[in-house]
Amino acid sequence: MMLYKLSYANIKKSMKDYAIYFFTLILGVAIFYVFNALDSQTVMMDVSKSTVELIDLMMTILSSVSVFVSFVLGFLIIYASRFLIKRRNKEFGIYLTLGMSKRKISLILFFETLFIGILSLIVGLGVGVIMSQIMSLVVANMFEANLTKFAFVFSTSACIKTIIYFSIMYLLVMIFNTYSVSKCKLIDLLNGAKTSEKIKLKNPYLCIIIFILSSIVLGKAYHMVTAEFLTLQKVTDILKPIIMGVVATFFIFWSLSGLILRIVQSLKKYYYKGLNSFTLRQFSSKINTTVFGATIICLMLFVTICLLSSCLTMKNSMNANIRKFAPVDAMFTQNMNMDKYYDDYLRYGYNDSQIKNSHYTAKEMFELFNFDITSYFKDYIEVNTYATEDLTMNHTLGSKLDSIRTEFPFLAYDTKEPIMKISDYNKVARFYGIQEYALNSDEYIIIADFKSMVNVRNIALENGEVIELFGHTLKPKYKTCQDGFLEMSSQHINTGIILVADNIVDEEYLFQNHLIGNYKTTNKKEIMKIENNINKLDEDLKASVYLLPSGSTKLAIKEATTGLSAMVTFIGLYLGVIFLISSAAILGLKELSESSDNKERFKMLRKIGADEKVINKALLRQILIFFTLPLIIALIHSVFGIMFAVKILEVFGTDELLPSIIATAIFIVIIYGGYFLITYYCSKNIIKERY
């Protein structure tokens, strides 16, 4: 009973000073519950079967991510417990001096951890349940679903999973605490608060050399993930710059820790101004742990910034792309003249029946099976694309082929180029509401929107490369690719379409026929019924080795895009917020622990005449250094990390990058800045002189 009361008193006493610890635990539990309770929100939503399947897939992925998150939070809790135990070294030393056994001290820590765990779980689950109701609206808005039966939802499965995961974490903390106490020595406990690391002034020349070498290695890593992006084809290729960046970051912090002390000491006026010398010595007294800890926190912040920026950019770009790249209701494509390229199509798995039927257009194929698709359209168009082995990328790149092949060795240069009559493309452009073009009979235009391929093609176009097509010599009308597309999508997928005058094209090389239209109805349920009938017919025909024309519809694209953007958003937010909270909490707890250790030093400052305003200013600067140094390096890393992400996200577009970066900055200011302020005010409360 006495140990129980002592544990309760210790928790009550520490609650104010270590609010960050309790706040982080509660926030961790709440976030864990919210993201694992997302599946319970779909019960209230009126969504299609395919959307439900996408949500189920998202929950499967989030469940896997939760395992990783639990390891991160477990590390955070153990790390925090380490600082809390260290802060109480003197208290434990007094217990041992008074005759208390280590077993009883372990029991005190056991009860404290148990109380903290139960309290954090109860409050965190309560906050999580409330937050999950708000998340219901977010999920419904993201999937554009009607909340037909909105009600208060409690996810039993998410609650059980949260309790199990966090119970395991707290059990590990109890084991860690017991082990720590069993290894402690009385002399170390009593003098722990008085000892600090010896300040060893590092050789400044060695620091400069290591800083320069680390910067060169880091610069090479930056170059590899940006300028040499296309050469990173294997996992090992990508791991190399990552490892180089991690190692270089560690040694940059190591060298800076020595240089900063030397540089500031050489600036006598600044070093001896106010309490600057005290602040710097405080920073230097923890230099060994600061280097490793700052590296880990810097990398976590770097991952957070890149993850949040990339995920939000991808989500926003995909949603914007639906409006741009799916401007009509449906598009059906029929492969034509497949017997001309018989071997190619057999290699792709087509059978003889499908190849023989490739002389029917998309409209005729539907009618062949007594299904008049055009009866569902209020308006529609039919256009063709052509292809020949005499016009591949090898031919369009012309004299620039060898230099481009050297720089971009992984492109498929022998791929046949899609060709369109200018009249057909303009018919599509009018239907889509995009720009039309005009051509002379001796000219060609390349339409493309996939940025990397646009850059490759522009090299040849700027050189004025001519092409030979169906016995005609054609020159480029423009020195650059023009913006445009044919296939509906939610992404930038057009790597290039060659537009030529109508009289140039040889009809024998008809490659694909496209039927594009808008439904008579705008009612979602009626559209779903039409598309379900088409899908059912397609499934029935597959059993008879026939295939309908391949189709892409605005509704299908929208549902797939929404599901993918939701997955990306939730996973990015889940990991990003956890990493951000963890890095800020680690810094905050470390600073609170050091403030507790340094109470006597601040007390000494008061004795020599320093007033509270000057002391608080010194404390603020000390905490500011620890919070901003990792963030500054992380921001520099993030510039190149985001450039790397932009290369990957080209297919989705990066027009929404700036708003995503701004949103990420707001996250960091609120969470990271919030932890900084809480740390400062809690530290100020710890060092405050008690009367």
3-state secondary structure 482-524: ECCCCCCCCCCCCCCEEEECHHHCCHHHEEEEEEEEEECCCCH
Residue 142 pLDDT > 60, yes or no?
Answer: yes
Q: What is the dihedral of CA 172, 174, 175, 176, to 10 degrees?
A: 90
Q: Using CA atoms, how far apart are residues 513 and 677, in angstroms rounded to an integer?
A: 63
- Please compute the mean of the pLDDT values over residues 11-23 and round it to a whole number: 67
- Per-residue model confidence (pLDDT) at position 197: 46
- The answer to whether residues 311 and 573 touch, using CB atoms and an 8 Å cutoff, is yes
Residue 415 pLDDT > 70, yes or no?
Answer: yes
- The answer to whether residues 521 and 378 touch, using CB atoms and an 8 Å cutoff, is no
Q: Which residue has the tokens 């001519």?
A: 466
- Please compute the mean of the pLDDT values over residues 311-326 and round it to a whole number: 80
508: tokens are 């024998």
- The answer to whether residues 84 and 18 touch, using CB atoms and an 8 Å cutoff, is yes
pTM for this entry: 0.75
Percent of the chain topping pLDDT 70: 74
Q: Identify the top-confidence range among 131-140, 159-168, 255-264, 406-415.
A: 159-168
Residue 635 pLDDT > 90, yes or no?
Answer: yes
DSSP strands (E only) in 269-423? 330-335, 377-386, 419-421
| pLDDT bucket at 542, cuts 50 / 70 / 90 | low
At residue 120's C-alpha, the angle toward residues 116 and 123, to 5°, is 140
Is pLDDT larger for residue 291 or for residue 192? 291
- Per-residue model confidence (pLDDT) at position 447: 95
- What are the pLDDT digits (tens) for 277-307? 666 666 665 655 577 778 888 988 998 998 8
- Per-residue model confidence (pLDDT) at position 115: 77
Residue 653 pLDDT > 50, yes or no?
Answer: yes
Give the type of residue at 165.
Y
| pLDDT bucket at 348, cuts 50 / 70 / 90 | low
Closest CA to 270 of 280, 283, 282: 280
CA atoms within 13 A on the CB side of 70: 19
- Per-residue model confidence (pLDDT) at position 460: 92
- Please compute the mean of the pLDDT values over residues 208-212 and round it to a whole number: 88
* Least confidently predicted of 227-231, 406-410, 655-659: 227-231
**Cα 635 to chain centroid, rounded:** 15
- The answer to whether residues 663 and 312 touch, using CB atoms and an 8 Å cutoff, is yes
Residue 432 pLDDT > 90, yes or no?
Answer: yes
- Per-residue model confidence (pLDDT) at position 486: 94
- Per-residue model confidence (pLDDT) at position 462: 93
Q: Using CA atoms, how far apart are residues 239 and 224, in angstroms rounded to an integer?
A: 11
* Least confidently predicted of 91-100, 102-111, 418-427, 428-437: 91-100
Q: Which helix (H) or strand (E) holds 45?
A: strand 45-46
Backbone torsion region of residue 352, taken as left when φ is above 0, otherwise alpha when ψ lies between -120 and 50, otherwise beta: alpha
DSSP class per residue in 519-559: ES---HHHHHHHHHHHHHHHHHHHTTT--PPEEEEHHHHHH
Give the type of residue at 514.
H
- The answer to whether residues 656 and 309 touch, using CB atoms and an 8 Å cutoff, is no
* Least confidently predicted of 79-83, 329-333, 435-439, 461-465: 79-83
Residue 167 pLDDT > 70, yes or no?
Answer: yes
- Per-residue model confidence (pLDDT) at position 403: 86
Residue 374 pLDDT > 70, yes or no?
Answer: yes
On the 0-12 / 13-18 / 19+ scale of CB atoms within 10 A, 402 is: exposed
- Per-residue model confidence (pLDDT) at position 75: 76
* Least confidently predicted of 573-577, 647-651, 662-666: 647-651
Residue 70 pLDDT > 90, yes or no?
Answer: no
- The answer to whether residues 676 and 584 touch, using CB atoms and an 8 Å cutoff, is yes
- Per-residue model confidence (pLDDT) at position 490: 80
Residue 543 pLDDT > 60, yes or no?
Answer: no
120: tokens are 């954090």
- Per-residue model confidence (pLDDT) at position 502: 94
Alpha helices in 326-368 (DSSP H): 342-347, 352-356, 362-368
The ranges assigned to domains in the chain are 1-195, 327-555
| pLDDT bucket at 691, cuts 50 / 70 / 90 | very low
36: tokens are 């694992």
- The answer to whether residues 504 and 472 touch, using CB atoms and an 8 Å cutoff, is yes
DSSP class per residue in 166-233: HHHHHHHHHHHHHHHHHH--HHHHHHTTT------PPPHHHHHHHHHHHHHHHHHHHHHHHTTGGG--
Residue 59 pLDDT > 90, yes or no?
Answer: no
Residue 314 pLDDT > 90, yes or no?
Answer: no
Average per-residue pLDDT for the chain: 79
308: tokens are 């949040």
- What are the pLDDT digits (tens) for 180-190? 666 666 555 55
What's the per-residue H, E or C state across 425-489? HHHHHHHHCCCCCCCCCCEEEEECCCHHHHHHHHHHHHCCCCEEECCEEEEECCCCCECCCCCCC
- Please compute the mean of the pLDDT values over residues 492-506 and round it to a whole number: 92
